[in-house]
Amino acid sequence: MYVISEGGVEIRVPSMSVSGKTKDVFFNPEMELNRDLTIAVLRAYKQEGMETYLDANAATGIRGTRAALDGWKVTLVDISPEAVELCKLNLSINNLSGEVHHNDVNIELRSKRYDVVDVDPFGSPISFLDSAFRGARKLLCVTATDTAPLCGAHLQAGIRRYSSVPKKTEYHAEIGIRNLLSSMARWGARYDIGINPIFCHSTRHYYRVYVEIDRRASKANEALEELGYIHHCSSCLYREVQLGLLSFPILSCPSCGGKKVITSGPIWLGKTHDKDFISKARSHVTEEMGMGSRVERIFSRVAEELEVPTHYDQHKLCRLWGLPAPSMEIFIGQIVDAGFEISRTHYGGTTFKTNATISEIYEIAND
Ligand code: SAH
């Protein structure tokens, strides 16, 4: 056993292999960023009167223990008996209280409800979504590490798991997040629940989404109205969005006339964050967070993102067009001077969102 300190608590973790995967109880030190972001979001949410938090895949119990330190009434659940023992130990060495249940969380959520349900499994969250929707009162936090199926890199696995068709593009991480949200909108709708994403991010090997839920059929209908398709030209990178559950693929690209137009969907085309909520969460970043500066950076980048459903990568565009890439500051200035909106994104240092079309960006870059 090792003892690690994170976010003001001490956690016993099993002896770690290099990858962070252990034989009996899973612990990944690289997820500290994910957990720090979670704690900031939970703090902002707690101010709105929320009390109960379910750590649905607790493993060492590090999430639940950190939430308990912040005053949440926590319940930690794991299907593994070794994990459950470790959760109890970790709460007790930190002098914190909480319920620890040895159970399949899908069974747990049949009979109980929690204000916040945090689904943070190893791999796909799909087998937990159904029960998470039934057992969450206000907020669902979901991690997905199966980025390849979600973003279109493993197309058939993505179709099987998420009942949609995600195609691989250069904005694949955004496709992945929006695809996950699309599944959640459809899963929630089965129970007359509408979703409202308040913060989502993609970080190297996983996606994380925070979704408010509203138990009204009208809200479920509203959420479904945010679904649609993205038509994308693989030759010139033109994109077009189309709302609605029926797809009307484009046969040739309206911009370059090429025939390589691919369609992804049904995908979430609505908002993926709430600026005001993020600014509240940001005010809860505190010193004991080991990843505090990265947390701040992600919050500020996501908050400034324009609400358009795809982004571009300036370096990839310049390579495609055989142009030297100017600095992002100069490039952004050029787009603004031409009268368009532009923002950077959290998806990468040279990524941006804009209301200019691909041919308008091309004209500006060639000016
Ligand atoms: N959330 C943890 C990591 C979780 S790893 C962290 O932040 O460190 C995934 C955990 O989910 C494992 O401990 C595994 O035993 C547990 N798990 C898998 N299937 C489950 C189920 N059906 N119900 C509850 N726990 C489950």
Domains of the chain, start order:
2-304 (3.40.50.150), 312-365 (3.30.56.70)
For residue 71, the CA-to-ligand 1 centroid distance in Å is 23
- pLDDT value of position 239: 97
- CA–centroid distance, 36 to ligand 1, in Å, is 18
The per-residue pLDDT for 16 is 60
Is the per-residue pLDDT at 3 higher than 60?
A: yes
**Percent of the chain whose predicted confidence (pLDDT) is above 90:** 95
CB under 6 Å to ligand 1: residues? 26-27, 31, 35, 57, 59-60, 62-63, 77-80, 83, 104-106, 120-122
Confidence of residue 124 (pLDDT cuts 50, 70, 90): very high
Residue 344 CA, ligand 1 centroid: distance in Å: 35
User: Which residue minimizes the CA distance to atom 11 of ligand 1?
Assistant: 57
Side chain identity, residue 159: I
Q: Is 60 exceeded by the pLDDT of residue 208?
A: yes
Retrieve residue 251's tokens: 């046969």
- Residue 34 Cα: closest atom of ligand 1: 7
Are 211 and 197 a contacting pair, CB within 8 Å?
yes
pLDDT at 362: 97
Q: Tell me which residue has its CA closest to atom 25 in ligand 1.
A: 78
Q: Indicate the pTM of the whole model.
A: 0.97
| Nearest alpha carbon, ligand 1 atom 22 | 104
Supply the residue whose CA is at minimum distance from atom 13 of ligand 1: 59
pLDDT score of 18: 43
CA 55 – ligand 1 centroid, Å: 9
CA-nearest residue, atom 20 of ligand 1: 79
Say if residue 20's pLDDT is above 70: no
Ligand 1 nearest atom to the CA of residue 128, by list position: 22
Q: What distance in angstroms lies between residue 103's CA and the mean position of ligand 1's atoms?
A: 11
Average pLDDT over residues 357-366: 96
